[in-house]
Amino acid sequence: MHSTHAPRIAVVGAGLGGLACARVLQLHGRPVTVFEREASTGARPQGGSLDIHAGTGQVALRAADLLDRFRTLARPESQEWRLLDPATAAVLPFAGPVHDEDSPEIDRGQLRGLLLESLAEGTVRWDHAVAGVTPLGDGTWRLLFDDGSTEEADLVVGADGAWSRIRPTLSDATPSYNGVTFIEAGFDDRDTRHPALAGTVGNGTMLASAGSRALLAQRNSNGHIRVYVAFRAPQNWQVAADVALDDTAAVRAHLLRMFEGWDESLLHLVRHNDGGFVSRPVFVLPAPHTWEHVPGITLLGDAAHLMPPVGLGANLAMLDGADLAHALIAESTIDDAVRGYESLMLPRSAQAARDCAKALDDIIPPEGA
For residues 267-282, average pLDDT: 94
pLDDT at 40: 82
Closest CA to 248 of 276, 279, 278, 280: 276
For the chain, the average pLDDT equals: 93
Residue 101 pLDDT more than 70? no
pLDDT at 124: 98
State how far the Cα of 198 lies from the Cα of 72, in Å rounded to an integer. 23
Please report the domains of the chain, with CATH numbers, ordered by start residue: 9-76+101-174+286-363 (3.50.50.60), 177-283 (3.30.9.30)
Tell me the three-class secondary structure of 195-264, residue by residue: HHHHHHHCCCEEEEEECCEEEEEEECCCCCEEEEEEEECCCCHHHHCCCCCCCHHHHHHHHHHHCCCCCH
Helix (H) or strand (E) holding 320: helix 313-330
Total Cβ atoms within 10 A of residue 44: 10
Total Cβ atoms within 10 A of residue 210: 15
> Quick one: 78 exposed, middle or buried, by C-beta within 10 A (0-12, 13-18, 19+)?
buried
Residue 100 pLDDT more than 80? no
- State pLDDT tens for residues 8-40: 999 999 999 999 999 999 999 999 999 999 988
Give the dihedral sign, CA 78/84/88/93. Answer: negative
- State pLDDT tens for residues 214-265: 999 998 888 889 999 999 999 999 999 999 999 999 999 999 999 999 999 9
Q: Which contacts (CB < 8 Å, 24+ apart) does range 57-60 have?
A: 57/314, 57/315, 57/318, 57/319, 58/102, 59/319, 59/322, 60/20, 60/24, 60/315, 60/318, 60/319, 60/321, 60/322
pTM of the model: 0.93
Question: Using an 8 Å Cβ cutoff, are 158 and 171 in contact?
Answer: no
